């Protein structure tokens, strides 16, 4: 079970989020083991997918990760304060005029278009030093990166101190999608114009497509945090548990209604529990009529609308002696992050990165 009531703060809490740093470390090993020939970087953008970059990143570094990716410059600045010695790539590069903030912390911009390349080169020339940079290629997703046409003007890229060339797969979670191989081929062709520079194509799902997708560096994020790389893949350790205590229990009569809009009506006398988490905590409104919480192996459906700070659940199938203060599981062995996401019509990524800051957090140490 989890570590409840370690201190006064955990005793006061209405819900606890348990993050297993040990599971994250084990997932790093599992993913790195799939690509033994490649360097395994770690993606810790969005506060390590909502789990706390300050806690998570040092564990990954201790496990052997030497290269990290964040999305924004400010995320890089925060990460640098935690990890002074690792290599940090900033996926979005820099806003105009922010080259100095990047370089002063030893952060490496991913340059996504020719103007960014020119700005970085101007900055390097002014400082008489070729600071490291990475290039991203657009191989079909049309999101970030240089096009094949952009690569025609070779002079633009001369004099760069390139650490990495990279691209990103649009459909890697669908192993049979022909777009994967199309993007891979384009990536090989574009990278060939920068011989000797390490290449990176795959995030979590891409790593599972096989060795021809690994190149010299892999960039897992989600897999480290226990999100399955494709439907049904159960190889990774679950990382997050979320447990909520019952705030109140009532019995409603047939015909009574529950929640905003009075959208749910009892058809028989029903015990209803109110739990203290809601959409402000990342329990989505879309769970109305679909989502559930669990008592051991028993599914307890969410009834009525999800409020900002609370949900109501039907206790019909639960033991009769449940009372206020007892604990129900929102995320855990009965319902993982992907399952909770499915009932809200979304993906595990959105669930994890939405989990709020109001839960009492417990970190299970890596070792
Ligand atoms: C977010 C991101 C990753 C990590 O993706 P996961 O699917 O979470 O592994 C890797 N590369 C890029 C460019 C990203 O934006």
Does residue 3 register a pLDDT over 80?
no
Taking the complete model, does pTM exceed 0.85, yes or no?
A: yes
Instruction: Identify the pLDDT of residue 332.
Output: 96
- Which mutation among 38, 69, 135, 143 tests ligand 1's pocket best, with the greatest number of atoms within 8 A of CB? 69
Angstrom distance (rounded) from CA 230 to CA 128: 47
CB count within 10 Å of CB 260 equals: 12
Give the contacts of 11 (CB within 8 A, at least 6 positions apart). Answer: 4, 5
| HSE (side-chain half, CA atoms, 13 Å) at 183 | 24
Q: Is 308 annotated as a binding residue?
A: yes
Nearest atom in ligand 1 to 91's CA: 13
Concerning whether 260 is annotated as a catalytic residue, the answer is yes
Nearest atom in ligand 1 to 205's CA: 7
**DSSP states along 281-307:** GT--GGGTTT-EEEETTEEEEEES---
Label residue 367 by pLDDT band (50, 70, 90).
confident
Does residue 5 register a pLDDT over 70?
no
Instruction: Identify the pLDDT of residue 1.
Output: 40
Label residue 233 by pLDDT band (50, 70, 90).
confident
Average pLDDT (326-350) is: 97
Instruction: Identify the pLDDT of residue 53.
Output: 98
Concerning whether 121 is annotated as a catalytic residue, the answer is no
Label residue 232 by pLDDT band (50, 70, 90).
confident
- Which mutation among 213, 219, 239 tests ligand 1's pocket best, with the greatest number of atoms within 8 A of CB? 219
3-class SS string, the chain: CCCCCCCHHHHHCCEEEEEEHHHHHHHHHHHHHHCCCCEECEECHHHHHCCCHHHHHHHHHHCCCCEEEECCHHHHHHHHHHCCCCEEEECCCCCCCCHHHHHHCCCEEEECCHHHHHHHHHHHHHCCCCCEEEEEECCCCCCCCECCHHHHCHHHHCCCEEEEEECCCCCCCCCCCCHHHHHHHHHHHHHCCCCCCCEECCCHHHHCCCHHHCCCEECCCHHHHCCCCCCCCCCCCCCEEEEEEEEEEEEECCCCEECHHHCEECCCCEEEEEECCCHHHCCCHHHCCCCEEEECCEEEEEECCCCCCCEEEECCCCCCCCCCCCEEEEECCCCCHHHHHHHCCCCHHHHHHHCCCCCEEEEECCC
**Identified catalytic residue from 49, 126, 225, 260:** 260
* Ranges of each domain in the chain: 21-225, 240-346
Average pLDDT (178-203) is: 98
Label residue 223 by pLDDT band (50, 70, 90).
very high
Q: Look at residues 92, 118, 94, 119 and name the one whose alpha carbon lies nearest to residue 104.
A: 94
Instruction: Identify the pLDDT of residue 78.
Output: 98
2 close to 353: Cβ distance less than 8 angstroms: no
Label residue 2 by pLDDT band (50, 70, 90).
very low
Q: Provide the CATH topology of domain 240-346.
A: Lyase, Ornithine Decarboxylase; Chain A, domain 1 (2.40.37)
Query: What confidence tens digit (pLDDT) does each residue in 249-260 have?
Result: 999 999 999 999
109 close to 94: Cβ distance less than 8 angstroms: yes
Does residue 235 register a pLDDT over 80?
yes
Residues framing ligand 1 (Cβ under 6 A)? 43, 45, 91, 168, 203-205, 219-223
- Identify the burial level of 71 via C-beta atoms within 10 angstroms of its C-beta, where 0-12 means exposed, 13-18 middle and 19 or more buried: middle
Instruction: Identify the pLDDT of residue 4.
Output: 55
Average pLDDT (19-46) is: 98
Angstrom distance (rounded) from CA 108 to CA 163: 9
- Which residue's CA is minimally distant from atom 11 of ligand 1? 203
Q: Look at residues 173, 178, 167 and name the one whose alpha carbon lies nearest to residue 141.
A: 167
Instruction: Identify the pLDDT of residue 11.
Output: 86
Q: Give the pairing type, strands 311-314 and 298-303.
A: antiparallel
Residue 51 is encoded by which pair of tokens? Answer: 């789990």
| Average pLDDT value over all residues in the chain | 96
Q: What is the widest separation between alpha-carbon atoms in the chain?
A: 78
Angstrom distance (rounded) from CA 293 to CA 350: 18
Domain 21-225 has CATH 3.40.50.410: no
């Amino acid at each position: 079970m989890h570590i409840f009531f370690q201190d006064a703060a955990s005793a006061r809490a209405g819900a606890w989020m348990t993050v297993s740093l040990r599971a994250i470390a084990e997932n790093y090993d599992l993913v790195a083991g799939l690509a033994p020939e490649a360097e395994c970087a770690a993606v810790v953008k969005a506060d390590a997918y909502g789990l706390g970059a300050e806690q998570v990143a040092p564990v990954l570094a201790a496990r052997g990760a030497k290269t990290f990716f964040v999305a924004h410059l400010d995320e890089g600045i925060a990460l640098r304060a935690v990890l002074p010695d690792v290599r940090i790539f900033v996926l979005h590069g820099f806003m105009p005029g922010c080259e100095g903030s990047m370089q002063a912390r030893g952060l490496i911009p991913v340059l996504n278009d020719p103007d960014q390349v020119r700005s970085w080169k101007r900055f390097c020339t002014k400082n008489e030093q070729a600071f490291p940079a990475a290039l991203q290629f657009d191989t079909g997703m049309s999101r970030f990166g240089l096009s094949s046409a952009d690569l025609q003007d070779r002079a633009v890229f001369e004099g760069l101190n390139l650490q990495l060339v990279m691209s990103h797969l649009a459909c890697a979670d669908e192993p049979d999608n022909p777009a994967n191989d199309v993007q891979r081929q384009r990536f090989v062709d574009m990278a060939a114009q920068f011989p000797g520079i390490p290449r990176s194509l795959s995030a979590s799902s891409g790593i599972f497509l096989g060795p021809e997708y690994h190149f010299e560096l892999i960039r897992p994020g989600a897999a480290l945090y226990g999100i399955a790389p494709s439907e049904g893949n159960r190889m990774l350790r679950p990382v997050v548990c979320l447990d909520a205590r019952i705030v109140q229990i009532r019995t409603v009569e047939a015909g009574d209604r529950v929640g905003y809009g009075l959208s749910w009506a009892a058809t028989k006398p029903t015990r209803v529990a109110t739990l203290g988490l809601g959409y402000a905590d990342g329990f989505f409104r879309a769970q109305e009529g679909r989502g559930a919480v669990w008592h051991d192996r028993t599914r307890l459906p969410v009834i009525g609308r999800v409020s900002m700070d609370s949900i109501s659940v039907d206790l019909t199938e639960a033991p009769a002696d449940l009372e206020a203060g007892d604990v129900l599981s929102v995320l855990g062995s009965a319902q993982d992050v992907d399952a909770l996401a499915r009932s809200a019509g979304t993906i595990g990524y959105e669930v994890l990165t939405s989990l709020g800051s109001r839960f009492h957090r417990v970190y299970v140490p890596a070792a």
